[in-house]
Amino acid sequence: DSGVTQTPKHLITATGQRVTLRCSPRSGDLSVYWYQQSLDQGLQFLIQYYNGEERAKGNILERFSAQQFPDLHSELNLSSLELGDSALYFCASSVASGTSYGYTFGSGTRLTVV
């Protein structure tokens, strides 16, 4: 157990629907990162939050949004889902926002859009 908890582990939904993925960071970690892993694109950075504030944005679609709450858990919202959104979504956390800190990854949420 890495200490980063992601729920749900699996999600199957239809095109056009909206889902919310949840991440609880490791105790003491203030930074949360979201990544999308697909076979063709590999691991793509989506967005980072640090202590409730957005810190960096990557290749995140406008249909996707995220937030980090006062208790530091984070949610990734995916709307108007398309077949191509099917992927593994990982959350990672780190102590701070600095560059030398390693990330601790959760076990991911596998999203299947049918």
Partner 1 sequence: AQSVTQLDSQVPVFEEAPVELRCNYSSSVSVYLFWYVQYPNQGLQLLLKYLSGSTLVESINGFEAEFNKSQTSFHLRKPSVHISDTAEYFCAVRRNSGNTPLVFGKGTRLSVIA
Contacting residues for 23 by C-beta, under 8 A, at least 6 apart = 4, 5, 6, 32, 34, 73, 74, 75, 76, 91, 93, 106
- Of 98, 88, 112, 109, the C-alpha closest to 24 is 109
Q: Using the rule CB under 8 A, is 105 a contact of partner 1?
A: yes
Single out the residue of 12, 16, 43, 84 in contact with partner 1 (rule: CB under 8 A): 43
Of 14 and 98, the one with the shorter C-beta distance to partner 1 is 98
| Cβ contact 23:34 at 8 Å | yes
Q: Using the rule CB under 8 A, is 100 a contact of partner 1?
A: yes
Which x/- pattern, by CB under 8 A, does the window 53-82 give for partner 1? Answer: --xx-x------------------------
Q: Using the rule CB under 8 A, is 107 a contact of partner 1?
A: yes
Q: What is the largest CA-CA distance in the chain?
A: 40
Neighbours of 10 (CB within 10 A): 9
Task: Provide, rounded to whole angstroms, the least separation between the CB of residue 15 and partner 1.
Answer: 26
Q: Using the rule CB under 8 A, is 12 a contact of partner 1?
A: no
Residues that bind partner 1 (CB under 8 A): 2, 4, 33, 35, 42-43, 45, 48, 50, 55-56, 58, 90, 92, 97-100, 102-108
